Amino acid sequence: MIKFIAFVLFFSLQGIASKEGEQLANIERRLNASLEDKTFLFVEKEQLEIEISAIRTKIKSKKKLIVKRLRALASLKQYSWGKLLLINDLNKLDRDIKILKNLNKYDYDLFKEYSSSLKQLALARNNLQETETDIQKNVESLKTQQEQFYQLEAQQMKFLQHAKKDSLLVYKGHLTRPLESSIKQDFGTLRDKDNQFYLINRGELYTASPGLTVRAIGPGKVIFRDDLMLWRETLIIQHADNYYSVYAGMNNLSKSVGDLVEKNEQLGAVAGGDFYFELRHFDNPINPKSWYRK
């Protein structure tokens, strides 16, 4: 079974962009960067929480040992160490002095480790607080960027409709999915529960039956077709206004490089197992969820 985590374009996607289109692309880049930062911050927070939990467990264990040692030291006070001077057996005297030395060193190391653990805990808590502050700043920044993006996008859509210019953007909210199947992995941050790490998915991963029809999400031109290792047959369609759609995991392709395609036109069939789809504006991966017809 093919596992798609993220799709990397092996060539540069370039085109002539309007001023508004460039502004949209710049905000999209910042949004993607902020989303990645958010993921890394949450990973850092999770690691710090694990570290704090481990330190607390260590401190709890050291506390138990310290309580035992304090009790032992209290009982040792009842022993008259002056009797050491009355011991005539040199071997016994040497043994008792070594015991005393080892006990003192053990207690010193124990309290030193306890003190060190408390300092580690204080540092980890401080780092956690700083990370939580960074997360809050990141969330606020994302909110501001998204508001700016939606405003500019709405203005761009009005301009395109008024000027009757061609762009995939005018189809936003009216596109159909590339195939009718259930989504295995959505766009965005994914948590791998088995291996305990995060993944950043640049597109959508579908669980699809072999032979299921794959269709173009919108009108455009095929600019890439190849049988990629692990990816199988892959198509990239260039849409108007520097938008691109990627279809990977197919066979029986009906289109070649240079062919024009219409919205909902059949491109091929699912090869089997997983099918991967990605939507890009310039080189920016964008979440296609809001582009589909509800």
Does residue 59 register a pLDDT over 70?
yes
Q: Specify the long-range contacts of residues 209-212, CB closer than 8 Å, at least 24 apart.
A: 209/181, 209/270, 209/272, 210/269, 210/270, 210/271, 210/272, 210/273, 211/269, 211/270, 212/179, 212/180, 212/181, 212/269, 212/270, 212/275
Quick: pLDDT tens for 109-122: 777 888 888 888 89
C-alpha 232/C-alpha 135 separation (Å) is 39
Q: Which pLDDT score, from 0 to 100, does residue 196 have?
A: 58
Q: Are 219 and 261 in contact (CB under 8 A)?
A: yes
Give this prediction's pTM.
0.70
Ordered domains of the chain (ranges, CATH): 17-165 (1.10.287), 167-291 (2.70.70.10)
Q: Average the pLDDT over 158-176 and give the result.
A: 88
Q: Which pLDDT score, from 0 to 100, does residue 2 have?
A: 39
Quick: pLDDT tens for 115-156: 888 888 899 899 999 999 998 888 898 888 888 888 888 888
Report residue 280's pLDDT band, with 50, 70 and 90 as the boundaries: very high
C-alpha 233/C-alpha 237 separation (Å) is 13
Report residue 288's pLDDT band, with 50, 70 and 90 as the boundaries: very high
Does residue 238 register a pLDDT over 50?
yes
